[in-house]
Amino acid sequence: MAGGGDHPGANKRKREAAGRPKAPSKGAADATKRKKTYDPPAPSAKPQPVTAKDKRVAAKEMSESRKMKRKPNYNLEKELAVLWEKMRCRDVSKENRSKLVTEALRKMDGKYFEIAGSHVTARVLQTCVKWCSQSERDAVFAALQPHLLHLSRKKYAVFLVKKLIKLATKKQLALFISSLHGHVASLLRHTIGAAVIDCAFHQATPPQKRSLLLELYSTELQLFKDLTEQKSCSLLETISKLGLQKSSVLQYMTTVIQPVLEKGIVEYSIVHTVILEYLTIADKTSASDVIRQLTPHLTQGSSVVDGEELSGVAEVPTKSKAKKKRSSEPLLIRIMQTREGLKLGLACLKHGSAKDRKKIIKSLKGQVMKLALSDYGCLFLACLLSIVDDTKLVTKVVIEELSKQLKEIIFDKNGRRPLLQLLHPLCSRYLTPTDLICLNYRVPSLISKDEASESAINVNLDSKLDDVADKEHGGSEDTLVASDSKKDPFKRRQELLVKSELCEVLIETCIENVGELLRTNFGKDLLYEVATGGKNNVLEGVTDRIHVLHNAIASDAARPRTEDVEHAFDNYHSSRVIRKMILDCPAFAATLWKNALEGKCKLYADGFSSKVVAAYLESPDSKVKDLARSEVQPLIDSGILKIPDRKAAEKK
């Protein structure tokens, strides 16, 4: 072949001439492969684990090596964890704990920011901040101060940030709040960062609180720093003073509140304050929309009652099943820690639909006692008992649970209030003026003009007369009723007290504990209302049982004076409540006279007991006066029994 290489045959001859072995054929190669035996692998340098213990040790070593590669401060974390276990023990002395904290802070020095985001070391640093000296705490705050906003969004670091805020000096707190300028709205919409804003809001001074709130009202209000120096300035006053457009403020606040409601970040007091201020300027549509979105969140955590699922209840987003389990109680229970939370709950209860109120009531199953014993939850229950028309549902969920633990309730300062609301609605003797104003709270845009003028009644806080106070506080129960409630208030009270048989259990409990109720500050009020039949004689259907209670009180008062138990007429509380029952209940006055006082007035003519004896001549009922006149008047004439000058003048 021209220009080509040697012929193939020539190449073969060249190989043979060179003495090279002949390449084996295909069949010979296959035979060689079949004859080749398996060679075992060379033994490794490290023996493979055989036993279960060896396997566990090997797995642990491999895990440790992987953690060391993944975590640059892994060895430091292990050292800090050992110190943490020692410093957090309860039996460790202050000196030893101080040494451990100082050693841990020395090891963490220069690495605070890296450590603050770790699951383990963030807890160590938090404990150190709690127990360290002020100078050491200042050093930690100074090192982390530029990074606090970033750490406020971290899952584990947020607890450290909250601890620093709670323990911060006035200067440090002011520095942190100033660093929040321009970030309040964005942090409040963050599921983790909202807790930091609320913590700062709780620790802040009134001017600092207003500076935080102003950023949530309008971007324009951030420019008016002079407003933070005023003692009081509501949103309406701010808008009026600065001449702002209500529509623009409403629009901006909607952009702030809407994401908060969608994410379910509604358990913080700063959120309650912002929503309440929003409702003061919101139109009817906007206010109704907020209440419609808020109501499902309040019932979150108790979505199934008696196997019936509450349809339409949007669950608050949670990141894990464990967190969802911890939040098993309704949000309504958790927000009843502040007066703002109470108002928010009342707004949903009063202005929500009948279906919404049904969901709220069902969500309270198993939580009624917790609500009744809290400072503001008891007021929520009092309002619920006064405005919900579905008395069967209220009896099933609320009344039945109260009846089971009635003895604990009647002696509790807060627990007795729902019962007193049924017996004597909106009475200023049992509710403070501030409580009465809260109970009458309604959203301005969702009430009619007549209701708005009625709710604007000027409350005289210094009034001491019950009838005047009831009138000034809007004491009529009609002012409490929701706009779509149709049932007569008196009929509602009778159904909840008499038809539900609550009154019978209540009277029986009073009879069993009559001596203790008489002599306690909180128990005597409930005993008085039951013994007198309640306002407008709401207990008229159980008059016979009330007479049994009268006899029980008289029997306790008829006991002779002993050193073991203070006599009912000599006790500060019981003498006053018995005197009031004599003045207001002629039937009780007659029973007490017959069983305990007739022929014994001279024994009780001095001290607290003299008020009881003198009450018979002060009674507005002529029959009661006639009972005691022949025995009491000679005591007055002889100077043994003294009546105050004012009462003597009224008698004449």
Residue 195: which of 129, 258, 268, 117 has the closest Cα?
A: 268
Residue 100 pLDDT: 92
* pLDDT score at 573: 94
**pLDDT exceeds cutoff 90 at 331:** no
Number of H helices, E strands in the chain: 41, 2
Least-confidence region, from 240-254, 312-326, 540-554 = 312-326
The pLDDT assigned to 637 comes to: 85
Higher pLDDT, 198 or 463: 198
Reported confidence tier of residue 317, pLDDT bands at 50, 70, 90: very low
In this predicted structure, what is the pLDDT of residue 466? 42
Going from the C-alpha of 563 to that of each of 178, 194, 566, the distances in angstroms are 64, 59, 7
- Range with the poorest average pLDDT among 155-164, 445-454, 516-525: 445-454
What was the pLDDT predicted at 482?
Answer: 58
Average pLDDT over residues 418-444: 93
The helix (run of H) or strand (run of E) holding residue 421 is helix 416-423
Write down the pLDDT at residue 643: 73
Structure confidence at residue 138 (pLDDT): 95
| pLDDT for residue 383 | 95
CA separation (Å) from 507 to 66, 408, 493, 525, 533?
Answer: 71, 14, 16, 14, 10
Taking the C-alpha atoms of residue 115 and residue 151, their distance in angstroms, rounded to an integer, is 11
Query: Could you write out the three-class secondary structure of 260-325?
Result: HHHHCCCCCHHHHHHHHHHHHHCCHHHHHHHHHHHHHHHCCCCCEECCEECCCCCCCCCCCHHHHH
Q: State the pLDDT confidence band at 310, using cuts at 50, 70 and 90.
A: very low
* Tokens of residue 168, six digits: 């911060």
Average pLDDT over residues 176-199: 93
For residue 652, pLDDT over 50 is answered with no
Band the pLDDT of 26: cuts 50, 70, 90.
low
The pLDDT of residue 457 is above 90: no
Higher-scoring residue by pLDDT: 260, 69: 260
Taking the C-alpha atoms of residue 546 and residue 504, their distance in angstroms, rounded to an integer, is: 9
Q: Is the pLDDT of residue 165 over 70?
A: yes
- What is the reported pLDDT for 70? 62
pLDDT, greater one: 140 or 50: 140
| CB-CB neighbours of 158 under 10 Å | 21
Q: What is the pLDDT at residue 606?
A: 87
Residue 306 burial by CB count (10 A; 0-12/13-18/19+): exposed, middle or buried? exposed
Q: What is the pLDDT of residue 475?
A: 52
| Whether the predicted pLDDT of 343 surpasses 80 | yes
Specify the pLDDT at position 478: 56
Convert the pLDDT of each residue in 290-305 to its tens digit: 999 999 888 876 443 3
Contact between residue 625 and residue 593 where contact means Cβ atoms under 8 Å apart: no
Task: Give the closest residue to 443 by CA, choosing from 526, 516, 350, 371.
Answer: 350
- At residue 114 the predicted structure's pLDDT band, cuts being 50, 70 and 90, is confident
Average pLDDT over residues 55-84: 74
Nearest Cα to Cα of residue 628 among 646, 644, 649, 643:
643
Question: Looking at residue 323, what is its pLDDT?
Answer: 46
Are the C-beta atoms of 102 and 128 separated by less than 8 Å? no
Residue 506: partners with Cβ closer than 8 Å, 6 or more residues away: 406, 410, 419, 497, 530
438 pLDDT above the threshold of 70: yes
Let me know if 246 is exposed, middle or buried by CB neighbors in 10 A (0-12, 13-18, 19+): middle
- 238 — pLDDT class (breaks 50, 70, 90): confident
Q: Please tell me which residue, 117 or 319, carries the higher pLDDT value.
A: 117
Say if residue 509's pLDDT is above 70.
yes
**% of the chain with per-residue pLDDT over 70:** 77
Band of residue 11 on the pLDDT scale cut at 50, 70, 90: low
Q: Residue 545 and residue 80: Cα distance in Å, rounded?
A: 69
Average pLDDT over residues 180-199: 93
- Mean pLDDT value across residues 178-186: 91
pLDDT in tens, 351-370: 988 899 999 999 999 999 99
pLDDT average, residue stretch 232-241 = 78
The average pLDDT across 163-173 equals: 95
Please give the residue that has the higher pLDDT: either 646 or 269.
269
C-alpha atoms less than 13 angstroms from C-alpha of 404 in its C-beta half-sphere: 9
Q: How far apart are the first and last CA of the chain?
A: 156
Residue 241 has pLDDT above 60, yes or no: yes
Mean pLDDT of 543-549: 94
* pLDDT value at residue 236: 85
Please tell me the distance from the alpha carbon of residue 46 to that of residue 55, in angstroms, as a whole number: 13
More confident site: 15 or 487:
487
Phi, psi of 492 (to 5 degrees): -60, -45
Measured CA to CA, the distance from residue 146 to residue 544 in angstroms comes to 74
If you write DSSP's letter for every residue of 363-398 in order, what string do you get? HTTTTHHHHHTSTTHHHHHHHHHHH-S-HHHHIIII
Query: Which amino acid does the sequence have at 335?
Result: I
- Does residue 452 carry a pLDDT above 60? no
Q: Does position 614 have pLDDT exceeding 80, yes or no?
A: yes
Residues 573-608: tens digit of each pLDDT: 999 999 999 999 999 999 999 999 998 888 888 889
Q: For residues 241 and 189, which has the higher predicted lDDT (pLDDT)? A: 189
Lowest mean pLDDT among 14-23, 61-70, 95-104, 632-641: 14-23
**pLDDT class for 345, splitting at 50, 70, 90?**
very high
Question: Average pLDDT for residues 531-556, to the nearest whole number?
Answer: 94
- For position 218, what pLDDT does the model report? 83
pLDDT of residue 638: 83
**Which residue shows structure tokens 């209220």?**
394
Residue range 53-62: mean pLDDT, rounded: 73
In the chain, the percentage of residues whose pLDDT exceeds 90 is 53
Residue 460, pLDDT above cutoff 70: no
Q: Which residues contact 230 (CB under 8 A, 6 or more apart)?
A: 210
Q: How confident is the model at residue 411 (pLDDT cuts 50, 70, 90)?
A: very high
Cβ neighbours for 263, distance < 8 A, ≥ 6 positions apart:
189, 191, 316, 317
Q: What is the pLDDT of residue 648?
A: 43
What is the rounded average pLDDT for all residues in the chain?
Answer: 82
Q: For residue range 355-410, what is the model confidence (pLDDT) as tens digits?
A: 999 999 999 999 999 999 999 999 999 999 999 999 999 999 999 999 999 999 99
Distance CA 313, CA 310 (A): 6
d(CA 373, CA 57): 54
